[in-house]
Amino acid sequence: AEVVDQLGLMHHVEALMLVTTFQYIAPTSDENVTVMDTEFNNVGVRLYLPRKLFDGLRRAVVYFHGGGWCVGQAGKLADASKPFSLKIAGINTLLASNSYRLAPKYRFPVQFEDAYLVMKFFLQSSVLSQYGVDPDRICVAGDSAGGNLAAAVAQQLLEDSEVETKLKAQALLYPALQSLDLNLPSYQENENKPVLSKLYMVRLWSEYFTSDSSLREAMASNRHVPVESSHLFPFVNWSNLLPEELKKDHVYTSPTYGSSELAQKYPGFLDPRAAPLLVSDAQLRRLPLTYVLTCQYDVLRDDGVMYARRLQAAGVPVTHDHAKDAFHGAMFFVSGPIELAVGHRLVNRYIKWLNENL
């Protein structure tokens, strides 16, 4: 996709979307699970609905797929990793995955708004009753950019007086949680590691907000935050939030401030709806039971670690599952041409947590 973009043949996101289009599979039911496509608040949703009710009402997971806010769809997520979806349904749990609108056609906050509309619609008592869902056993979840959306949705629900049903849990799989500091130890150590390099993550972040290359260039040099936003840096100060084993020999340096003009034009990168790590401890302590998966060889590792530690400090029950032998996206290498034991292990640990806690 990068080569095609540099040759001027196609935008890199368009190239990625072309590839992922071929991964779409129509909903296919079996004797245990009914799979269907529908809409919640005019946003496409794929449902995995267990055919049997084992002991009354079922649990539910509303899942937001990854893909850097610019690729992916519910059909791709659900079937590219079908064992993941079927295992969730197999523990008497409805799985709902939605197809929010994507960059570069749509920018922040559209993706967040679509995700929030789906969650808010699903939490209505009439909808929960329709699908046989226990209102006390609902989890919002997502991976990567989807983990970002899940965390932001969970926070926003706390401020919405119209929503009466409360989440029991949130599950964040190697989530992207801030674009304030893009030179964390995990960004430095995994700068050129597959599946997600530092420069590509920077590009995804900037594409979420604008096509203006000046923001991407400023983010790449970590000089995009204006001095008037300096009060936000303690929320992502890794020298205070990372354990010693992840700090290693890295030395924290004070931020180099950037142009106020960029922040005025594209304020999204300073918005908690795009960067859930930027909320206060008082807001965090109201969040539900939380599962956070991080991977050692992942630029986003430290985002998840810092969020887990801040939640724990705020008194939120947190299970932080750190995979020392895994990389970004490893959880979904469980079927298809590349199938890895680490992917199956991470899926099984996540399903075990859901089964024991939801």
Note the pLDDT tens digit of each residue in 95-115: 999 889 999 999 999 999 999
Q: Is there a contact between 174 and 342 (Cβ–Cβ < 8 Å)?
A: no
CB 114 within 8 A of CB 43: yes
Give strand pairing partners of 43.
40
Beta strand 58-64 with 133-143 is parallel
First-to-final CA distance of the chain? 39
Catalytic option among 79, 114, 181, 298: 298
Count of other CB atoms within 10 angstroms of residue 119? 26
Give me the pLDDT at residue 78, please: 43
What is the pLDDT at residue 75?
55
Rounded Cα distance between 183 and 190, Å, is 11
Distance separating alpha carbons of residues 28 and 92, to the nearest angstrom? 18
328: annotated active-site residue: yes
Q: Is 108 helix (H, G, I), strand (E, B) or coil?
A: coil
**Residue position matching structure tokens 């009402």:** 57
Write the DSSP string, 194-241: SS--HHHHHHHHHHHH-S-HHHHHHHHTT--S-GGGGGGGGGG-HHHH
254 counts as catalytic? no
CA pair distance 276, 273, nearest whole angstrom: 6
Task: Give the pLDDT score at 9.
Answer: 74
What pLDDT, on a 0 to 100 scale, did the predictor assign at position 80? 47
Please say whether the dihedral angle defined by the alpha carbons of residues 36, 40, 42 and 44, taken in this order, is positive or negative.
negative
Residue 136 annotated among the catalytic residues of the structure: no
Mark the ranges of the chain whose per-residue pLDDT is less than 70: 12, 15-24, 54, 74-83
Name the token pair of 149: 């959306």
**Active-site residue, selected from the candidate residues 144, 179, 206, 229:** 144
Give the C-alpha separation, 137 to 25, whole Å: 29
The backbone torsions φ and ψ at residue 227, rounded to the nearest 5 degrees and listed phi first, read: -60, -30
